[in-house]
Amino acid sequence: MFKNTNSNFQFPNFQILFNLLSILRTPAWRQDFLPRGMAGSYLRTSLPSLVLVLALASCSQKNTSDKEVEALLSDLQQTYAPDKRIARFHLELEKQETDWVLKGQSDQKSAMAILQDSLAAMGLEVTDSVQHLPAPELGADTLGVVRLSVANIRSNPGHSQELATQATMGTVVKVLMKKGGWHLVQTPDKYIAWADDGALEIMNKEALEAWKAMSKVVYTEPYGRSLTSTEADAAIVSDLVVGDILALNGEEGDYYRVGYPDGREAFIPKSAARPYSDWMETMATSETSLVDTAETLMGLPYLWGGTSAKGVDCSGFTKTVYFLNGIVLPRDASQQVHSGMLVDEEGDFSKLQPGDLLFFGSLREDGSEKVTHVGMWIGNNEFIHSSGDVHISSMDPEADNYDEFNKNRYFRAKRVLGHLTPDVREVAEVY
C-alpha cells in the first residue's frame, strides 16, 4: 500500500472536484494542454476515471491502494502517450524500503502536472525520480539539425541496434537527452529514437533561428556529391541524396556555394539543386507529381528503418514520396493508416485515385488488425511499394505482376491528398 498522509476520515471535497471539472472542461484548457484531436476522448474516458480516483482518495482514511494510482497512471498514459514511438509518459511505482518512488521517463508536462496534483489530493507521499525530458542537464541545447546526407536513427543507443528511421540533411530535431555518444531525438514526424553525435549539429533556440533564417537549396538528384571547389579535380566534401537541405551562401558560375549545418562549405552543380524558396513556391502536390516521384525510386532496395534514397522500408517509401511533395506523413504503416480520409475497405479499387495509400496486414487472435505494409496507388489497377525493392504490383489476376499475397491481406485505402489530418504536416511547417 502507498503511504497516505491522511490519518483522519475526510468527506469528499466536492468544491475541489467541481473546480477540477470546470477547469478540465474549458476550451482553453483543452486547446493548451491536450493533444490535438484528443479532447473529446479525454472528457469521455479519462476525466471520469480521474475524478473517480480523486473522489476515492478524499473519502479514504489510510488505505488508498496502489491499484488506484496505477489506474491513474494508465489513464494518463493512454490519454497523453498511447504510442511510445512519438510520446513518453511511461512511469512505474517502486517500493524502496518504506517509501514509494515514481520512476520512468516523461516528456508530457501537462500529464505530469495532473499526476502530481492528483497524488497530492490523494495524500500520497511519493518521491519523484522521473527522468523529465528534455533532460535538464542539456541546458539550452535542446535542438539539432542533421549534418549528414542521411542520419541513421536507432531504437537504442549503439550502432548495432535496430534502425528505427532516418533523417536527411537539414532536418530539425528536438533533443531530449544525451547518453554517451548518443542523443535521444524527436524528428518532425514526432518519432523518438537515438542519433549518434556525428549525425547532428546541436543548437540552442537562437542558433537554430539563425540557421532557419538563411537562404537554402534543396538537392534534387537521387544521389550526388559536394565538392571543395568548382575545379574539375576538386575533392569531395560529402555525399548527398535527394531532399537534403543546405544553406545557400552564394553562386559561382554553374555552381551553388552551399553551407552545412556545422559550418562546412562546398559547391554543388546548379543542375542538381533548387533554391528552397523556389521549390516550395512551385510545388504543386498532385496525383501526377506523387506518381512521378515514386517512379524515380524504382528498384531502390528495401531497408528496414530506411526513409531515404539510400534505402526504404514500406512506410519509409510512402513517407519519402510524400516528403518530396511537401507533406510529412507519420513514420510507420500502423500510424499512416490513421491519416487522411477513408476511401475503400471492401476491395473496390475503382474508388481509388493515384496517390492513395493502401494498407495491408493480418488479424490478431483477438480479432484486432495488425497493419504491417503500405503501398501507393498509381492507377491502372496497380500500386507501387517497397518489398524486397521498390516495384509495381497489380491487383488484376490476369496481369503478369499480379500480387495475390497482398491482395488477400488488403485492409483499406486512405486519401491524404486534399485531406490532411492533424497527424500530417506540411514541409513548410517544420523545415
| Buried-state track 82-101, b at ≥16 Cβ within 10 A, e below 16 | eeebbbbbebebeeeeeebe
Q: What does the pLDDT read at residue 125?
A: 81
> What gap in Å lies between CA 309 and CA 168, rounded to an integer?
9
Q: What does the pLDDT read at residue 37?
A: 42
- Judged against a pLDDT cut of 60, whether residue 13 lies above it is answered with no
- Judged against a pLDDT cut of 90, whether residue 119 lies above it is answered with no
Same fold, 137-211 and 215-278: yes
C-alpha 358: how far from its chain's center?
20
C-alpha 219: how far from its chain's center?
23
Is residue 183 among the annotated active site residues?
Answer: no
- Among residues 159, 338, 385, 419, which one is catalytic? 385
Average pLDDT over residues 246-265: 98
**Percent of the chain scoring above 70 in pLDDT:** 85
> Can you name the CATH fold of 137-211?
SH3 type barrels. (2.30.30)
* Least trusted range by pLDDT, from 6-15, 178-187, 358-367, 407-416: 6-15
> What gap in Å lies between CA 86 and CA 198, rounded to an integer?
23
Cell of 211: 540557421
Do 55 and 68 contact (CB within 8 A), yes or no? no
Do 414 and 343 contact (CB within 8 A), yes or no? yes
- Judged against a pLDDT cut of 70, whether residue 101 lies above it is answered with yes
Mean pLDDT of the chain: 87
The pLDDT tens digits for 30-70 are 444 444 444 444 444 455 445 444 444 444 434 456 688 88
Q: What does the pLDDT read at residue 70?
A: 84
- Among residues 90, 183, 338, 373, which one is catalytic? 373
- Judged against a pLDDT cut of 50, whether residue 23 lies above it is answered with no
**What are the extents of the domains in the chain?**
14-132, 137-211, 215-278, 287-430
> What gap in Å lies between CA 403 and CA 251, rounded to an integer?
49
Average pLDDT over residues 407-424: 97
- Judged against a pLDDT cut of 90, whether residue 386 lies above it is answered with yes
Do 307 and 297 contact (CB within 8 A), yes or no? no
Q: What does the pLDDT read at residue 64?
A: 55
Q: Which CATH class is domain 287-430?
A: alpha beta
Residue where the block lists cell 525493392? 389
Average pLDDT over residues 390-397: 98
**Nearest in space to 172 (alpha carbons), one of 153, 192, 145:** 145
- 14-132 CATH choice from 3.40.50.300, 3.40.710.10, 3.30.2010.20, 3.30.1340.30: 3.30.1340.30
Q: What does the pLDDT read at residue 428?
A: 86
Q: What does the pLDDT read at residue 255?
A: 98
Average pLDDT over residues 363-382: 97
The pLDDT tens digits for 313-361 are 999 999 999 999 999 999 999 999 999 999 999 999 999 999 999 999 9
Q: What does the pLDDT read at residue 65?
A: 63
* Least trusted range by pLDDT, from 231-235, 280-284, 314-318: 280-284
Q: What does the pLDDT read at residue 98?
A: 72
Average pLDDT over residues 246-257: 98
- Judged against a pLDDT cut of 50, whether residue 22 lies above it is answered with no
DSSP assignment string, 325-380? TTEE--SSHHHHTTSSEEEESSS-GGG--TT-EEEEEEE-TTS-EEEEEEEEEEET
* Least trusted range by pLDDT, from 115-119, 213-217, 388-392, 427-431: 427-431
Is residue 59 among the annotated active site residues?
Answer: no
**Percent of the chain scoring above 90 in pLDDT:** 76
Average pLDDT over residues 277-302: 94
* Least trusted range by pLDDT, from 54-68, 249-263, 352-366, 400-414: 54-68
Q: What does the pLDDT read at residue 48?
A: 46
Give the best-scoring range by mean pLDDT among 4-8, 291-295, 424-428.
Answer: 291-295
The pLDDT tens digits for 148-203 are 999 999 999 999 999 999 999 999 999 999 999 999 999 999 999 999 999 999 99
Q: What does the pLDDT read at residue 159?
A: 97
> Can you name the CATH fold of 215-278?
SH3 type barrels. (2.30.30)
Average pLDDT over residues 281-290: 91
| Buried-state track 359-381, b at ≥16 Cβ within 10 A, e below 16 | bbbeeeeeeeeebbbbbbbbeeb
**Nearest in space to 336 (alpha carbons), one of 283, 368, 372:** 372
- Judged against a pLDDT cut of 50, whether residue 21 lies above it is answered with no
- Among residues 314, 338, 391, 419, which one is catalytic? 314
- Judged against a pLDDT cut of 60, whether residue 20 lies above it is answered with no
Q: Is cis: bond before 134, omega within 30 of 0?
A: yes
Give the best-scoring range by mean pLDDT among 112-116, 356-360, 427-431.
Answer: 356-360
